[in-house]
């Protein structure tokens, strides 16, 4: 009964809005350990699975441990933004790893985080529009 009331309240409060489909953004981010031993281990290519102002879910082939300090380098159209963070969780999806990275509040500039979020939103919206266009068949060649 209580679960039904909670579900009814949430539906009435927030409607039946479906969460937008998420896409992986490739080529936008590189990940590296905060303390690296050599230049070749400096940055590994990664994909953004999810991102918010507090952190990001990042997929890559390099293995890190929980509590490792990492640096994420985001490539934006005009420049690069480097954000530091800490691996909070990890999940194996062979052959890759997905990491939940929490951004450091004190080390990162809030303006830089906002720039990264705005660019990621634009990319997600562009990918959603392309997927919707393909689903409706508007992309067929005559």
pLDDT at 37: 54
d(CA 111, CA 1): 46
Mind listing the pLDDT tens digit of every residue in the chain (142 residues)? 455 455 555 555 555 544 555 667 776 788 878 776 555 557 788 888 888 888 889 998 888 899 999 988 888 888 888 888 999 999 888 888 899 999 887 667 788 888 888 888 888 888 888 888 887 776 555 4
Domains and CATH numbers, the chain: 18-135 (2.40.10.220)
pLDDT at 127: 84
pLDDT at 17: 46
pTM of the model: 0.69
pLDDT at 118: 87
Residue 78 to residues 43, 74, 75, 115: CA-CA distances in angstroms? Answer: 20, 11, 8, 11
d(CA 101, CA 59): 11
Within 10 angstroms of residue 44's Cβ, the number of other Cβ atoms is 15
């Amino acid at each position: 009964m209580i679960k039904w009331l909670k579900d009814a309240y949430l539906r009435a409060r927030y409607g039946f809005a479906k969460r937008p489909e998420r896409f992986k953004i490739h080529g936008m981010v590189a990940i590296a350990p905060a303390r690296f031993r050599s230049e070749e281990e400096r940055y590994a290519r990664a994909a953004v699975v999810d991102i918010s102002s507090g952190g990001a879910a990042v997929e890559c082939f390099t293995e890190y441990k929980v509590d490792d300090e990492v640096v994420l380098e985001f490539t934006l159209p005009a420049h690069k933004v480097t954000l530091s963070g800490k691996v909070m969780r990890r999940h194996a999806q062979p052959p890759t790893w997905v990491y939940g990275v929490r951004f450091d509040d004190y080390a990162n500039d809030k303006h830089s985080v906002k720039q990264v979020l705005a660019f990621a939103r634009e990319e997600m919206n562009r990918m959603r529009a392309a997927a919707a266009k393909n689903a409706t068949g508007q992309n067929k060649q005559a």
